[in-house]
Amino acid sequence: MYEYPRPNPAGQPACAYDPYRSTLRRAPAHPAIVLPHTLSELTGPVYGHNPIGETDNDLTRHGPAEPQGERIVVAGRVIDEDGRPLPNALVEIWQANAAGRYQHVGDNHPAPLDPNFLGAGRAITDDHGNYRFLTIKPGAYPWRNHYNAWRPAHIHFSLFGSAFVSRLVTQMFFPNDPLIPLDPVLQSISDEQARARLVSAFDLSLTEPEWALGYRFDIVLRGRSATPFEVPGRQP
Catalytic residues: 102, 141, 151, 154, 156
- The enclosing H or E element of 168 equals strand 168-173
CB 11 within 8 A of CB 191: yes
- The enclosing H or E element of 65 equals none
**Helix-, strand-, coil-residue percentages of the chain, each rounded to 5:** 10, 25, 60
CB 172 within 8 A of CB 155: yes
Question: Edge-to-edge strand order for the sheet containing 154-160?
Answer: 120-124, 90-95, 154-160, 168-173
Q: Cα–Cα distance between 66 and 61 in angstroms, integer?
A: 7
| Total Cβ atoms within 10 A of residue 2 | 6
| Total Cβ atoms within 10 A of residue 18 | 10
Q: Cα–Cα distance between 167 and 222 in angstroms, integer?
A: 8
- Cα angle value 199/203/207 (rounded, 5°): 125
